[in-house]
Structure 1
Amino acid sequence: MTDRALPKTPVIYQIYPRSFRDTTGNGIGDLDGIILGLDHAASLGADAVWMSPFYPSPWADGGYDITDHMSIHPALGTMHDFDRLVARAHDLGLKVIIDQVFNHTSTEAPWFKLSVAGDPRYSDYYLWADPKPDGTPPNNWLSQFGPPAWTWNHKRQQYYFHNFTADQPSLNLRNEDVQAELRTIMQFWRDRGVDGFRIDAVTSLLCDPEFRDNPVASPDVRDKVSGDNFVPYTRQDHVHDILPGDGIAFVANLRDWAGDDAFLIGEVTSGNQSVELSCRLTTEGRMNAAYSTDLPESGCTAESYADILTRAPDPDRIGWWLSSHDQPRHAGKAGDGSAHDAKFLALLLAVSPGPVLIYQGEELGLTQPDLPRAAVTDPLDLLYWPDGPGREGARVPIPWEEGGNRGFTTGTPWLPMTWPEGVSTAVQHIDEGSILRFYRAAFAFRRDGLGPVELQDWSRDGDVIRLHYPKAAVVLNFGKDPVPIDTRPDFASGPVETNLPGRTAAVWLNSD
């Protein structure tokens, strides 16, 4: 029987299906395109690929508004294509992780339409509430994008709750029938060979059943709440609308539904106490790992890196990452866009003490592209245009070749591709000094040279972080000034002589 369990601290390559590779010429990436690119993921030393939603969806929020959790969007392929994808991944030694979006569905989902209609079975599938006597929403909760979290439905004469857009009504996960549906969904994909799940917005799965108002956030809490401070959501301390007292224990259900050998990693969007919650969500019988937005939103500084290590009693259960489909590309945010800086950040991830998430294209050193407003479809970017987070820019299809539409499609890509020359996979594959070649080397070193990724000790001195593993010592120089060293390292992100230059990471292996 094939071992379906992932390593404790795997390297996971995230694929955003619409932007990975198109094989039909319709300008939208598809499952066959992912199959073509699995060798690329394997060449990076990945243990698994994580695929963002490929389910039927109106794409009102990037595919995270799902109408059917057990089917394939027709623009992306068929279930047969999915089965071939899983088989090919397993042949390459890659595990398959897929998104599970259990917080909400689309308003176009049959469940929601039946709930609106008052069907006895589905009436309580979502979070409905009566208005206050004056007709206003039942409480002060805001959606994570900023607008009110309640939308009026005239047919039911009630408000429905949504953590995100009004197109994404929140499920009532306290309803046992809803729980049974989610169990069926997980078992369906497990039976098709899926090895694990990324749990979208895991901190939003439950809310206070009494719908009590959130208190005002203190300045300290406001700075920690996920999102830019100009978003009204950051003005509340979210103690009632996300992860109430029984929310942590609820995660044990996910483990039960997925099976003991499934790898579960959750997205923590709480902001306040994010690292502490991540660790509580990953104790025995819950998830394997969780990740928050602390590092990418901070710009990845020595201070923010040390803050995570300080707050995490078990940092090997924290997912380490810098870019995703929801965050602007880090090469130009946490770095200066140069190859030197991209390699520093690559090795920083490769030597971090927990699961590592690589987002498609970061291995090419891609920086955030500028998009015209007319091309943008993301609701959060449009809401605060041009000051939104830049989620759509991170979803611009990646360049496989030079010229034309860069080997992504023979048609017109769904987002304009204006990548500079020379950044494609084809070019970087043959350039020994490329960022792509360095990513491959860095994660091969993590697998074959670093030894057990079990953090024994660490320290911080200004812009310098030192990590100690059973078989290696690591120095991360986040600053611009060189740091004295006694010996040349066994592996580094750039040239090293008598000093460790600024924005350079290095590893020394134990002689024994």
Structure 2
Amino acid sequence: MAYEPKRRGDWPAAPVIYEIYPRSFRDTTGSGEGDLNGITEGLSHVVDLGVDAIWISPFFVSPHADGGYDVADHRNIDPRYGTLRDFETLVETAHKRGLKVMIDQVLNHTSDKHPWFQRAIDGNSDCADRYVWRDPKPDGTAPNNWLSQFGPPAWTWNHKRRQYYFHQFLAGQPSLDLRNEVVQDKHRTQIQCWRDRGVDGFRFDVCTSYLFDPSMKDNPPASPDVQDKVSGENFVPYTYQDHVYDMLPGDGVDYMKKLRDWAGDDAWLLGEISSGNQSIELACRMTAPDKLDACYTTDLPENKGKPRAIADILSREDKPGAAWWMSSHDQPRHLTIAGDGSDRDARLFAMQCALLPGPWLVFQGEELALPQPDLTREETTDPLDLLYWPDGPGREGARVPIPWHEGADNFGFTSGTPWLPMRWPSGKAVMRQADDGGVAAFYRKLTEARRTHGLGRGTAEVADIADDYIELSLKTPEGNFRAAINHSGEGRAHPDGCGDPVLISHKGDGLPPRSAALYTA
């Protein structure tokens, strides 16, 4: 029987969600940065793809030390993006066009410019209790060996308080104490505030980082097999630890029930798994009718979307709990990292995500077959990319503004100077990809196929597997299917017992090289 997740209001059971990084989507003011009105103007393109919802990355008040994920005011719009009225117009327009609206919620930390943190530094004990302050060891060193996920120590000294504060990311992103009742109450009211403004769901940033063991014991060293599973490049010191005390201990999974209670039963909730340890298993544990609707992990993109990575994820799921994706604001564009940059490979990776049970996350521009841009050190502003330059993850490249009109100044993104340089190859703009032969048009075929055949609501079992090939048996509410995904440079015959495919990523004899196909079974 096909897996049927709980329906949330009038959300589809396994939605296709299009992530928009607002600073890089479309600019209407000439500032060189995208804005909320630019999203509203560009919704026709998103609607044409046939997706169910948009997820908007942070647009809140922020000094932008970490791309907007260092929030100084969770309930107001950063002026660079517009006004609350602009946001309300965006939501109204999206709803009229049949799109649900999800926004980010960054609950784990604030900016160090947040009024709470500034008051804590000035000696306000109530505000200090909302963060994680600890005295130094007798020798003046940090309370324990915990590292930030970017690699440096997770403790920064503040001379005014003569204490260390904890931060799981940048020093400018002090971690909140999510067990603090005042923090919980503020989070509940801010979530309800955005629901009152028409928001249909939320993506929760780094929700596996919310809680830590109050004992604050040192993390043990990671064994080689654990290090390989910790999210991030293995030259980052963070991967050298087994994160058993600083991430999601004990009651962490049940904390997702609070998020459900705060958001309401009809909101669709997506969580980011920021721990590589038991990532898929955590995604399943955090996904339930009274918790989140899905989580996403880095397993697939960090393994370049390979067939054995797909099989590994499916084998570790006791139910579909993981969303499928390849690129995001936090990952380099997969067409370059995992593919050869061709439209052919763009269709291959899109189709393999679309075939699998569960939600599908699409990052702005992947439907245009955008490659990963090259940026110089001088052009780069992302702190993680700069920390390991030139071997950082390439987050900034994924955030280069998307092209709208080929031949126009700055590809029609802005009348000013774009905040990152735009050196896109020809043939990638929105207005060039919308025709029947473009990659964007193929995305539309995939979203239609998911609805017609119930693919997102099915189950998948591995029927055949090799390093460069996977064959899946799919059972959905609409019938039984066979999927074949060929990563090799050689063609293959169609699977035994299968005739012509219902849908194929590109045509040729049999199953062509670097292609995927769906068959009735």
**In which range does the TM-score fall when normalised by the shorter chain?**
over 0.9
After superposition, where does 1:156-175 map in structure 2 within 5 Å?
A: 156-175=161-180
> Which residue identity does 2:307 align to in structure 1?
A
1:74-124, CA deviations, whole angstroms, 9 ceiling, x for partnerless residues? 010000000000000100110000000000000000011112222233120
> Which residue identity does 1:224 align to in structure 2?
K
Q: Per-residue deviation at 1:456?
A: 5.1
Q: Per-residue deviation at 1:481?
A: 2.8
Indicate the residue corresponding to 2:191 in structure 1: 186
- 1: CA distance between counterparts of 2:345 and 2:361? 18
Q: Is the 8 A contact 2:357 2:460 kept in 1?
A: no
1:220-251, CA deviations, whole angstroms, 9 ceiling, x for partnerless residues? 00000000011000000001111111111111
Indicate the residue corresponding to 1:478 in structure 2: 487
* 2:159 matches 1:139: no
- 2: CA distance between counterparts of 1:461 and 1:198? 33
Indicate the residue corresponding to 1:440 in structure 2: 444
Indicate the residue corresponding to 1:458 in structure 2: 462
- 2: CA distance between counterparts of 1:341 and 1:18? 27
1:467 to 460, 473, 483: 473
> Which residue identity does 2:267 align to in structure 1?
A
- 2: CA distance between counterparts of 1:269 and 1:67? 22
Indicate the residue corresponding to 1:501 in structure 2: 512
Q: Is the 8 A contact 1:291 1:320 kept in 2?
A: yes
2:113 to 108, 117, 129: 108
Indicate the residue corresponding to 2:45 in structure 1: 40
Unaligned runs of 5+ residues in structure 1 are none
Q: Is the 8 A contact 2:14 2:456 kept in 1?
A: no
Indicate the residue corresponding to 1:197 in structure 2: 202
Q: Per-residue deviation at 1:332?
A: 1.0
* 2:302 matches 1:302: no
Unaligned runs of 5+ residues in structure 2 are 1-7
User: CA 1:480/1:175 → structure 2, altered by over 3 Å: closer, same or farther?
Assistant: same
> Which residue identity does 1:479 align to in structure 2?
S
User: CA 1:307/1:416 → structure 2, altered by over 3 Å: closer, same or farther?
Assistant: same
Q: Is the partner of 1:483 in helix, strand or coil? A: coil
Q: Is the partner of 1:166 in helix, strand or coil? A: coil
Indicate the residue corresponding to 1:382 in structure 2: 386
User: CA 1:80/1:209 → structure 2, altered by over 3 Å: closer, same or farther?
Assistant: same
Q: Is the partner of 1:346 in helix, strand or coil? A: helix
Indicate the residue corresponding to 1:72 in structure 2: 77
1:364 to 359, 362, 368: 368
> Which residue identity does 2:202 align to in structure 1?
F
1:342 to 346, 361, 366: 346
After superposition, where does 1:180-329 map in structure 2 within 5 Å?
A: 180-315=185-320, 317-329=321-333
Q: Is the partner of 1:309 in helix, strand or coil? A: helix
- 2: CA distance between counterparts of 1:496 and 1:174? 58
* 2:102 matches 1:94: no
1:400 to 400, 404, 417: 404
Indicate the residue corresponding to 2:503 in structure 1: 491
How many residues are paired up? Answer: 505
Q: Is the 8 A contact 1:464 1:479 kept in 2?
A: no
Indicate the residue corresponding to 2:3 in structure 1: none
- 2: CA distance between counterparts of 1:414 and 1:429? 26
Deviates more, 1:418-427 or 1:133-142: 418-427
Q: Is the 8 A contact 1:102 1:200 kept in 2?
A: yes
Indicate the residue corresponding to 1:421 in structure 2: 426
Q: Per-residue deviation at 1:452?
A: 6.2
Structure 1 runs of 4+ aligned residues shifted over 6 Å read none
1:349-378, CA deviations, whole angstroms, 9 ceiling, x for partnerless residues? 111111000000000000100001111110
1:321-341, CA deviations, whole angstroms, 9 ceiling, x for partnerless residues? 000000000111121111111
Q: Is the 8 A contact 1:104 1:169 kept in 2?
A: yes
- 2: CA distance between counterparts of 1:27 and 1:202? 32
User: CA 1:455/1:496 → structure 2, altered by over 3 Å: closer, same or farther?
Assistant: farther
1:290-334, CA deviations, whole angstroms, 9 ceiling, x for partnerless residues? 01001001111011111000001112x211000000000011112
Indicate the residue corresponding to 2:33 in structure 1: 28
- 2: CA distance between counterparts of 1:496 and 1:312? 34
Q: Is the 8 A contact 1:328 1:368 kept in 2?
A: yes
- 2: CA distance between counterparts of 1:359 and 1:451? 20
RMSD over aligned CA atoms reads 1.2
> Which residue identity does 2:511 align to in structure 1?
L
Q: Is the 8 A contact 2:460 2:472 kept in 1?
A: no
- 1: CA distance between counterparts of 2:460 and 2:240? 38
Normalised by the length of structure 2, the TM-score is: 0.95
Q: Is the 8 A contact 1:5 1:262 kept in 2?
A: no
- 2: CA distance between counterparts of 1:240 and 1:40? 45
Q: Is the 8 A contact 1:44 1:444 kept in 2?
A: no
Deviates more, 1:270-279 or 1:453-462: 453-462
> Which residue identity does 1:489 align to in structure 2?
P
Q: Per-residue deviation at 1:38?
A: 1.3
* 2:179 matches 1:148: no
1:41-83, CA deviations, whole angstroms, 9 ceiling, x for partnerless residues? 1111111000000000000000000000000000100000000
Q: Is the 8 A contact 2:233 2:239 kept in 1?
A: yes
Q: Is the 8 A contact 1:465 1:475 kept in 2?
A: yes
Q: Per-residue deviation at 1:473?
A: 2.2
> Which residue identity does 1:508 align to in structure 2?
Y
Deviates more, 1:470-479 or 1:178-187: 470-479
- 2: CA distance between counterparts of 1:420 and 1:362? 14
1:128-180, CA deviations, whole angstroms, 9 ceiling, x for partnerless residues? 11100000000000000000000001111110000000000000001011100
User: CA 1:383/1:496 → structure 2, altered by over 3 Å: closer, same or farther?
Assistant: same
